[in-house]
Structure 1
Amino acid sequence: MSTRRSMLRLPLLGLPLGLSVSRPALAAPPRLTLRGPDIIDPSGQPIILRGWNWGHWEQILPQDAAENVAQGANVVRIPLRWWGKYRTKNVDSRDDAATATAGIAPANLQRLDEAIRSASSAKLWIVLFIDSDCGQNGTQPDGRRYCDPSDQYGNNGHNFWTDPPMRKKFVAIWRFVANRYKDTPYLGMFEPLPELNPPGVSPAEIKAFYAELMGTIREVAPGVPFLIGGRHYQTKAMDEVYDPAWKDVVYTGNLFLHAKARGTDEASLADYRERVKQLVDFRSRHQVPVFVQQIGVRSRDDPDRRGVKEMMQAMVANRIGFTWWTYRGAGNPNEFSVVYPQGKEWVVKRDWMDAISSTFKQR
C-alpha cells in the first residue's frame, strides 16, 4: 500500500474555513434512530454497527474507507483531539487564536473534514468524538504539566470542572462542530467526551456535564443520536449516567482485554466476560442500545489470538456493535492496530484482520 496522502476535495464542506453563504434549506439526510435496545437504520430495520476506529487520524489514508467497506464494516469512529498532550506532533487542535473556527486549528479541522468526507462518501456511519485529555481530568502523569503549566489547580487537575471558562470553550467548540457537520450524510452519532474521569467530581456532576453538551448540540444538529458512558467508560459505571428521559442516547463502555505479555490467561478472560455481562445486563435492564466504542487487545499480549477470538464471539453472540481500536497505528506489530508502518510500507496483520472483520456481517 502506498503511504502518500492525497487531498480530498470537499464539495460537502468546501467553503474556506470561517466563511459561510446563504443557501436554501435542505432536507436533513436520513439518520439513525433508536427504538428500545436497538439502533434503527433509515429503512426502519435494526442495524448492528461494526467497524474500526481511525484513532490515529494523522495516519488516515484516502483508501481506508473503501478498504473498510470491502472488509464488511459499516461504521467508523473518528476523533478530533483538542487540549491534551498527545504523543504525535500537531495532534492537539487547540488554537485560541483561531476565532473563526471556535479555537480549532484550521489545518486540523481540514484534516477532520477530509476524514469525514471520505467516510461519508463510502457510506460508513460516522461516530464523531472530541477528545480532550486535559478536559477529561487533567491529571495524567505525562500530561499534568501540559494541562496546568503554572501548577494552579493542584491534585484535582486542570479540567472542565475546575476551569469553567475552559468548559465554556469546549461547549462552543461542540456547537461549531455539530453545526459544521449536521448535514453530512451517514453522520451516525456524536460522542461528546470519552473516558472522562475528573477527580473529586460526583456522578451527578458528570451527568450534568453530558446534559449541557447534548443540550447545546441538539439546538444546532437535532436528530443525531449521542454516545456516552460512565466514569472512565467503565461498564460498571454506565448506570451513573443513565437517564430515562434521554431518548436519543446510546450507552457505552470500553472492552479492552487486559491480558499479560505472556499470553491470554483465564483470569483476564473472566474479567472480560464480566464486563460484557455488565453491558448486556444494562441493555436489558433499561431497554436502551449499547455500543462498544473501543474494544481491543495488544497483539503482544495475545500471541495465539485466543483472546481476540473469544472477544469477537462475545460480540456476535450478544449482538453488540463495536469499533476496534484501532485500524492503523503504532510502528510495530505488537500494539492494538491491525495495520502498522514498516519503513515506507504498511503491513497488515492478516490473521488479526480476518479474526475481527469476519464478525462485521454476522448478526
Structure 2
Amino acid sequence: MRLPVLHRSPLYPAAAEHALARVDRILDACRARGLHLSLNLHRAPGYVITGWESEPHNLWTDPPAQDAFAALWRGFAARWRDVPAGALSFDLVNEPPALGLRGFTREAHEAVIRRTVAEIRAVDPHRPIVIDGLDGGNLAMPELTDLGLLHSGRGYQPMSVTHYRASWWPGHEHLPDPVYPCDYDGRWWDAGSLRDFYKPWREIAAGGTLVHIGEFGCYEYTPDDVALRWFTDLLEVFAEQRWGYALWEFAGAFGVVGHHRPGGRFEARDGWMVDVRLLELLQAYQV
C-alpha cells in the first residue's frame, strides 16, 4: 500500500509527533495484514506537483528546502530502522516536475536524490528506497541506476483517456469524448505505442534496475468500455515485464471502489461496492 504524506510548514520544523504516530498505526495495521507499506512524501519541503508556487523555497535549487528534505528522511529512517525491509519502503518524493520547469534539471534532481539516499543509508542501510520518474513519473532515470533503488513509473498515457474532464489538469479542456485506441498529442495510442512509451524503462530494467508502476488509473468520466480496453492493454505491457503496480486509488474517482464511470458494473464485496470487471482484470494480471 502506498501512503502519501504531506509536509506543509514553510519553516520546515521536524515532523509532528501526532502525524508520525498515525503512520505508526497504519504501518502496524499493514503488517498485521501482511501488506507492505510504501511511505511517500507527496508534498515535500520546496516541492509539490500541484500548487508548487505556494512553497517558499524550491527543493531543486534552494539549500533550505534541500536540507529540510534530507533531514526529514533521515528522521524517518531513524524512527523506523527496526521495521523489516519487507514491511516498509521509502518513496522519496511524488512525481518530480518536467525538465526546465523552475530550474529543474536531471543534474539538480540527481544531487538531491544522492544526498538523501546517503542520509537514509547512514542510519538504515537496508531500507528499500523508491524514486519516481521525472516529468510527473513518466521519464526514466538512467543516471541513478547505480544506487540500487526501485524506480517508479506511471501509467496515465494517453491522457485523453485517463484524464478526461480532470479539472486540475490544464490539458483537460477541449478534449473530445474519449475513445481507445486513439490519436492524441501527435501519436496513435494502442498496445504497441504503450510498449514503445515504456522502452526507456525496459532499458534500465534490462540493466538490473527494479521497476515498479507506482500509479496508474483512469478518471471516472471516461466510459467504462473505453477504460477497460485501455486497462487491458496497459496491464498486458506490465505483465510482459513482470512489473508490479499500484492502482491510484482504492476508493475514489480513479478507484476500484467509488468511481462513476458510465457503464460500470458494481457488486457488493466485503461491505464495498466494487467495480467487478476492473477488479477481475487486476486479479488476472497480478504479478
TM-score tier, shorter chain, comes to 0.7 to 0.9
Q: Which amino acid aligns with 1:353?
A: L
> 1:347 and 1:107 mapped to 2: Cα distance?
32
Please tell me the residue identity of whatever aligns with 1:159. N
The 1:275–1:211 alpha-carbon spacing in structure 2 relative to 1, beyond 3 Å, is: same
Partner residue, 2:107: 204
User: Relative contact order (alpha carbons < 8 A, sep ≥ 6): 1 or 2 greater?
Assistant: 1
State the SS of the aligned residue for 2:72: helix
Identity %: 22
Aligned ranges 1:167-246 → 2 under 5 Å: 167-185=66-84, 186-197=86-97, 199-239=102-142, 241-244=143-146, 246=147
Paired residues of 1:120 and 1:184 also in contact (CA < 8 A): no
Is the alpha carbon distance of 1:234 and 1:129 closer, same or farther for their aligned partners in structure 2, counting shifts above 3 Å?
closer
SS in 1 for 2:246: strand
Tell me by how many angstroms 1:341 deviates.
Answer: 8.3
The runs of 5 or more residues in structure 2 that have no matched partner are 165-176, 183-187, 261-270
Structure 1 residues 248-298: Cα deviation after superposition (integer angstroms, max 9, x where no partner): 2122221213215423233343553322333223211x2221111112222
Asked if the contact 2:138/2:154 (under 8 Å) is kept, the reply is: yes
Please say if residues 140 and 200 of structure 2, whose CA atoms lie closer than 8 Å, have aligned partners that are also in contact: no
**1:216 aligned partner, one-letter code:** E
TM-score (norm 2): 0.76
Is 1:357 the equivalent of 2:283? Answer: yes
The aligned residue for residue 291 of structure 1 is 212
Question: In 2, Cα distance between the equivalents of 1:341 and 1:81?
Answer: 24
Any idea what SS the aligned residue of 1:130 has? strand
TM-score, with length taken from structure 1: 0.61
2:45 is equivalent to residue 130 of structure 1: no
1:250–1:200 distance in 2 versus 1, CA, 3 Å: same
1:147 aligns with 2:73: no
Provide the secondary structure at the position in 2 that maps to 1:215.
helix
Match of 1:327 in 2: 250
Match of 1:147, as an amino acid? E
Query: Distance between the aligned counterparts of 1:176 and 1:321, measured in 2?
Result: 28
- Indicate which of 236, 252, 265 corresponds to 2:181: 265
Look up the match of 2:174.
none
C-alpha distance in 1 between matches for 2:52 and 2:152: 25
> More helix by proportion, 1 or 2?
2
Compute the RMSD of aligned alpha carbons: 2.7
- Specify every segment of 5 or more residues in structure 1 that has no aligned partner in the other structure, as ranges: 1-75, 84-93, 149-157, 330-334
**Which stretch shows the higher mean deviation, 179-188 or 269-278?**
269-278
Checking the alignment, whether the CA contact within 8 Å between 2:47 and 2:55 is kept in structure 1 is no
Give the 3 Å change call, closer, same or farther, for CA 80–210 of structure 1 in structure 2. same
Distance 2:48 2:41 in 1: 14
Number of residue pairs aligned between Structure 1 and Structure 2: 249
Change (3 A) 1:315 1:230: closer
- Deviation of the 1:205 alpha carbon: 1.5
Which residue does 1:311 correspond to in 2? Answer: 234
